[in-house]
Structure 1
Amino acid sequence: MRLEPKPASSLVATLAYPAGAVVATFVIAGLLVLAAGASPFAVFAQVIKGAAGSRFAVLETLTRATPLIFTGLAVAVAFRAKLWNIGAEAQLYAGGLATVVLGTGALPLPAPVLIPLIMAAAMAAGALLLLGPALLKTRLGVDEVVTTLLLNFIMILFVSMLLEGVLKDPMGMGWPQSERVVAEAQLMKLVPRSRLHLGFVIALVAAVAVWVVMKKTTLGYEMRAVGHNPEAARFAGIPVNRVLVKTALLSGGLAALAGFSEVAGLKGNLTLDLSPGFGYTGIVVAMLAMLNPLGVVAAAIFVAGIFVGADAMSRTAGVPSYIAQVMVATALLTMVVAIMLARFRIRWR
């Protein structure tokens, strides 16, 4: 068996492979539900109802999708240039850390000035965190998969140290958490009496902005060229190392916005459980979207719906909510296979 590159696929074929991956995911998950002794149709109906069956469910799904859009965009940007950023979780916490450092009263500024300033600081923190692995890759040839993955643990331990030390809230009754950000640093709620906040709109704007950068700018062209063939790009005069560094700065900044939105828009302070794995799930989101920035929005809402719907399903159908994690992991595997089949043809000898 060998793989042969396919010619450019039609739009129908491009959409058919991801759709087939989603169908395969539900088939595999259905078999697991059957093994658990429940009806797949009843369970999936409960998942859909829990994710989109009411106003509250829809708003919760969009709220959960907000950080996934940011981390999905971060991964999509990096992977497009074949910069394997596995450290979106660390960059998320870096953004959250910058948010509480500047947003707890250090800068007495009005909201229209303070919020953009904190956003810029959060993006800078995430960008600088990924800059180190990018320089190690371009200057010394160090594998960025290892460095970015290890930075996740280093960053969480660093945040833990700060929350037990200088950033610990004296009014937090001993819990390892920071002080709450001031009202001027908080993102407004989009819908009264809900958790959906302005971060969702910022995420949508970011997705459109990244799409414009990827499709309409010189940097986007250089990123795609480096991702397709770095040696050919270098021969054509594209500064490959410089493009990788720029990609790292953009990717790290986008992931850090997830931490900013969670702190300033949802929780109000920094805790160790700020992220239940949004950085890692962003890899699944980006792959489901086939690295398309606009597709990241749909993929993030889909994945968020699975998690929100599974929480509701586990209370009614008696099936563990861990089925959501199995579905997301299966979706990643099937999407990888779908991408391979979309680009290559299998030849049997």
Structure 2
Amino acid sequence: MSFRLEPRANPSLALKLAVSLVAGLVALLLVAIPVLFAGGNPFSAYGLIIQGAFGSMFAFSETLNRATPLILTGLAAAVAFRARLWNIGAEGQLYIGALAAVLVGSGLFAMPPMLLIPTVMIAGFLAGGLMMVIPTMLKQRFGADEVVITLLLNFVVILFVQMLIEGPLKDPLSMGWPQSVPLLAEAKFDKLVPRLRMHWGLIVGLAAALLLWLMVRKTVLGFEIKAVGENRAAARFAGIPVNATMLKVALISGGLAGLAGVGEVAGVKGYLSADLSPGFGYSGIVVAMLAGLSPIGTVFAALFVAAMFVGADSMSRATGISNYLADLVVALSLLCVLVGGFFLRFRVRYERRPALAEGR
């Protein structure tokens, strides 16, 4: 008996959902092994994670609050990866977007209060977009590797932000703590629910996911992005402006990551600090891959990742099992989804070899 791989022309939605479901179940089964070695009950641990993430209005609001920047950084990675533009710099783009929000929204520039929030968002979007446009232009002009450039720019931006918040932008009322001057009240996002941390950045993320889905499915730019991602040479031969398309993708991708930074400053903290992000930019890559680069899927993937991290903190306090279990669940889920993606692309065909003739 032998087998061969046969490419699938167009996998059905039911098959995609089945593969995702099986991948998630396999990941949970694999994570149960280290939980048992740690002396815990996997079912109890998973139950506590769910309760910690969704068991109360406060828990659910914290999950949504954690998911908000993940939606935007996940969308940033998803749109770039669709065009085979490897944006690994969403962390730096998030910080530069937050920095732009502080520069505009802390009163350094005089403007009417009603214009502050739109201006803060535009400034954050453009600052993050510029941080991705520059590596893309270097790639087009000199053949530079955008993976290396965007990755290294993360550290450059974070060090630059630390220099500013310990120098010219330092809040004189922070009692020595390295943080920027606060945003004006008019530049901050309102809370969606009183006394909870959910803010209008969540609505911005959901709207961005919907707009990106419409762009990918319904617009000429969406078709150009798909064509460039599938085969850049063929797209250029067909008359698609490849370089211009890549620059548009870079601006959108970096801008979305910049908006994540705006949301964290204007919606959560109210000021810029070096610990603004615990790695939202890098986690956004995982979110995008879990979602299969789907804009709508990114929302659900971000909610899953956020629930794991928020729920794992609660589970750890109740059982003593390390909250790094969340990292393990997310990592194994990504691995299983990637393996499942292989079976979405190829169908395994088994064949029986004909019996050898007698006497031969």
CA radius of gyration, larger in: 2
Q: Where does residue 238 of structure 2 map in the other structure?
A: 236
Q: Where does residue 105 of structure 1 map in the other structure?
A: 107
Output the CA distance in 2 between the equivalents of 1:84 and 1:296.
Answer: 17
**Aligned positions of 1:95-174 closer than 5 A:** 95-174=97-176
Q: Where does residue 320 of structure 1 map in the other structure?
A: 322
Amino acid at match of 1:240: V
Q: Where does residue 64 of structure 1 map in the other structure?
A: 66
Output the CA distance in 2 between the equivalents of 1:198 and 1:111.
Answer: 17
Q: Report deviation, 1:340.
A: 2.0
Output the CA distance in 2 between the equivalents of 1:3 and 1:249.
Answer: 38
Q: Where does residue 221 of structure 2 map in the other structure?
A: 219
Q: Report deviation, 1:34.
A: 0.9
Going from structure 1 to structure 2, the CA distance change for 1:3 and 1:248 (only over 3 Å counts) comes to: farther
1:19-43 Cα shifts (integer Å, max 9, x gaps): 2221122111111111111000000
Output the CA distance in 2 between the equivalents of 1:169 and 1:256.
Answer: 22
Q: Report deviation, 1:62.
A: 0.5
Q: Where does residue 191 of structure 2 map in the other structure?
A: 189
Output the CA distance in 2 between the equivalents of 1:190 and 1:22.
Answer: 31
Output the CA distance in 1 between the equivalents of 2:4 and 2:329.
Answer: 29
Give unmatched runs, 5+ long, in structure 2.
352-360
Q: Judge conservation of contact 1:284–1:331 (CA < 8 Å) in 2.
A: no
Output the CA distance in 1 between the equivalents of 2:338 and 2:273.
Answer: 34
Q: Report deviation, 1:50.
A: 0.1
Moved more, 239-248 or 100-109: 100-109
Amino acid at match of 1:305: A
1:278 to 266, 280, 284: 280
Q: Where does residue 30 of structure 2 map in the other structure?
A: 28
Going from structure 1 to structure 2, the CA distance change for 1:174 and 1:295 (only over 3 Å counts) comes to: same
Q: Judge conservation of contact 1:110–1:184 (CA < 8 Å) in 2.
A: no
Output the CA distance in 2 between the equivalents of 1:107 and 1:325.
Answer: 41
Output the CA distance in 2 between the equivalents of 1:207 and 1:284.
Answer: 16
Matched, 1:207 2:209: yes
Q: Judge conservation of contact 1:81–1:244 (CA < 8 Å) in 2.
A: yes
Output the CA distance in 2 between the equivalents of 1:340 and 1:99.
Answer: 41
Amino acid at match of 1:71: T
Q: Report deviation, 1:267.
A: 0.4
Q: Report deviation, 1:108.
A: 3.9
Output the CA distance in 1 between the equivalents of 2:59 and 2:110.
Answer: 37
Give unmatched runs, 5+ long, in structure 1.
none
Going from structure 1 to structure 2, the CA distance change for 1:85 and 1:348 (only over 3 Å counts) comes to: farther
Going from structure 1 to structure 2, the CA distance change for 1:102 and 1:2 (only over 3 Å counts) comes to: farther
- The DSSP-based 3-state class of the residue aligned with 1:345 is strand
Moved more, 231-240 or 261-270: 231-240
1:258 to 260, 278, 286: 260
- The DSSP-based 3-state class of the residue aligned with 2:347 is strand
CA RMSD across the alignment: 1.5
* TM-score normalised to structure 2 length: 0.94
Output the CA distance in 2 between the equivalents of 1:240 and 1:337.
Answer: 31
1:94 to 89, 93, 96: 96
Going from structure 1 to structure 2, the CA distance change for 1:325 and 1:137 (only over 3 Å counts) comes to: same
Q: Judge conservation of contact 1:47–1:313 (CA < 8 Å) in 2.
A: yes
Output the CA distance in 2 between the equivalents of 1:241 and 1:332.
Answer: 31
Going from structure 1 to structure 2, the CA distance change for 1:202 and 1:111 (only over 3 Å counts) comes to: farther
Moved more, 174-183 or 16-25: 16-25
Q: Where does residue 12 of structure 2 map in the other structure?
A: 10
Q: Where does residue 356 of structure 2 map in the other structure?
A: none
**Aligned positions of 1:282-321 closer than 5 A:** 282-321=284-323
Q: Where does residue 270 of structure 2 map in the other structure?
A: 268
Output the CA distance in 2 between the equivalents of 1:316 and 1:241.
Answer: 53
Q: Report deviation, 1:2.
A: 7.1
Q: Report deviation, 1:145.
A: 1.0
Amino acid at match of 2:288: A
Amino acid at match of 2:68: T
2:54 to 52, 55, 74: 52
1:248-294 Cα shifts (integer Å, max 9, x gaps): 00000001000000000000000011000000000111111111101
Output the CA distance in 2 between the equivalents of 1:77 and 1:56.
Answer: 32
1:286-345 Cα shifts (integer Å, max 9, x gaps): 111111101111111111011000010000011000111111122222222222221123
Output the CA distance in 1 between the equivalents of 2:99 and 2:346.
Answer: 43
Q: Report deviation, 1:111.
A: 4.1
Alignment: residue pair count: 349
Output the CA distance in 2 between the equivalents of 1:24 and 1:246.
Answer: 38
* TM-score normalised to structure 1 length: 0.97
